[in-house]
Amino acid sequence: MKKMMNTVPFRMLAAFTMAGVLVLSTSCNKDDKYNNTPLPGLPVATVLKSSGDSAAIIGTINQFRSILGDSLNAVPGKTSGRREVNWDGVPANLTNNELFPLDFFNLTDPAGANGRKRGLLYLNTGSPLRLDSSNFAEIDAAHANEFVPFSKKKTIIAANSNTSEIVFKVAGTTTDAFVNGFGIIFTDVDDANSTSLEFYNGNKSLGIFKAQPKSVTGSFSFLGVHFATEKVTRIKITAGNSHFAPGIKDLSDGGNKDLVSYDDFFYDEPKQLQ
């Protein structure tokens, strides 16, 4: 198991070991270079990372859940606690195709199911979303054993891109919202520089945070980032360095691309922007 927890101005570098856990202050620069001197005015973020199988990463996930809020919210109208998203309850007609709605988890119909009112909205960046229960073997049979889900049995990608973007709404409404933290489970990260989250407050970047590669014990990589004071209004997800398509082979399968899918989301309750 590989695990990191960082609480730092995001360009400071320092590392030490405590209770068997690597505590590392790490850079968020696009070129992954480190700056040994803390810079004034940068946001302070707590960064949790781990990789391996489900058992290897669950402790880090639970730690991040506690940071977000112990209460897992299931109905609108909350102002604290956290939300989680997995894809397993999505109906079959939206699975194994490119029909997954950008607003599936931002339902605003008062009569609609509360399970779809989670305040999460994908932006239309030009690529449809593909929710898949075949580990993307329907795209290429070589993927069948590579892109396994964390919570059985569906994962998601941007169909024609390796990037996607999400924003937040007050659950069950169209009201713009923010969060302070967000975590994600990636599957099959091979390259230490291929997969990341970039956080924004409006148009201001709060930093790029890279996921750890998978480990010998399993294919999952968890990355969670929580800001002490900054409001996060948008997140860019970069999953690998290529989109999925027939004939594009992953590094794990002898190819030259790092294909990455992702599964569960974790974030604190979206709150109205003031």
- Range with the poorest average pLDDT among 31-35, 115-119, 191-195, 201-205: 31-35
Is the pLDDT reported for residue 174 higher than 50?
Answer: yes
pTM above 0.85, yes or no: yes
- Label residue 3 by pLDDT band (50, 70, 90): low
Alpha-carbon span 82 to 74, nearest angstrom: 9
Tokens standing for residue 59: 């402790």
Q: How far is CA 246 from CA 15, 134, 151, 204, in A?
A: 42, 14, 25, 37
* pLDDT tens, position by position, 71-122: 999 999 999 999 999 999 999 999 999 999 999 999 999 999 999 999 999 9
Is the pLDDT reported for residue 123 higher than 80?
Answer: yes
Residues 76 and 117: beta-carbon distance below 8 Å: yes
* pLDDT tens, position by position, 5-58: 665 554 433 332 222 223 333 334 444 332 333 445 668 899 999 999 999 999
Domain map of the chain by residue range? 2-272
Q: How far is CA 2 from CA 15, 41, 42, 48, 49, in A?
A: 14, 30, 27, 11, 8
Alpha-carbon span 238 to 166, nearest angstrom: 12
Instruction: For CA atoms 57, 45, 183, 165, give the dihedral sign.
Output: negative
Select the more confidently predicted residue: 149 or 211: 211
